[in-house]
Amino acid sequence: MAGKIRGAKTIIAIDLQPGRLELAKKLGATHGVIENMIDALGSRGRAVTIGAPGFGVRVGVDVMYHLTYGREYVGCVEGDSLPSKFIPHLIELHAQGKLPLEELITTYNVKDFQTAIDDAKAGRALKAVLTWE
């Protein structure tokens, strides 16, 4: 969504879950692939990790390939932004209808918490939210 808002022409979503790739395309990705992100980079391309599987997971990188083609692999937290400015900006984008966060949320009654956990693990729910109604 952010790439679309910023006017990026090519937005490549990479995920292991086909359903998440379809959602990414619906929200602005121009391409979706289930393969190694590093191999998908062009010359002087940049891969950015914005979500991670947890500590201890390693990524193999061919250093000479990166040096030869000027590629980058970086981590990113909150868009490398200042939260005091970034969060109000996100709220404004959502109010304008440009940031449809509700597309990312699946709501479950608290009684169905196990279904929410299972759906999140299986990739059927991107952001599972429990309600006490």
Model confidence pLDDT, tens digit, residues 71-126: 777 777 777 788 899 889 989 999 999 989 998 899 999 999 999 999 988 888 88
Q: According to CATH, where is 3.40.50.720 located in the chain?
A: 2-100
Question: Which pair of structure tokens corresponds to residue 50?
Answer: 């914005």
29-72 pLDDT per residue, tens: 888 776 666 666 777 777 777 666 678 877 777 788 778 878 77
Sign of the Cα pseudo-torsion (108, 114, 117, 123, in order):
negative
The number of CA neighbours under 13 Å toward the Cβ of 76 is 13
Strand (E) or helix (H) holding 127: strand 127-131
CATH topology of domain 2-100: Rossmann fold (3.40.50)
> What was the pLDDT predicted at 66?
75
Q: Which of 37, 48, 36, 35 is nearest to 8 (CA)?
A: 48
> What was the pLDDT predicted at 52?
66
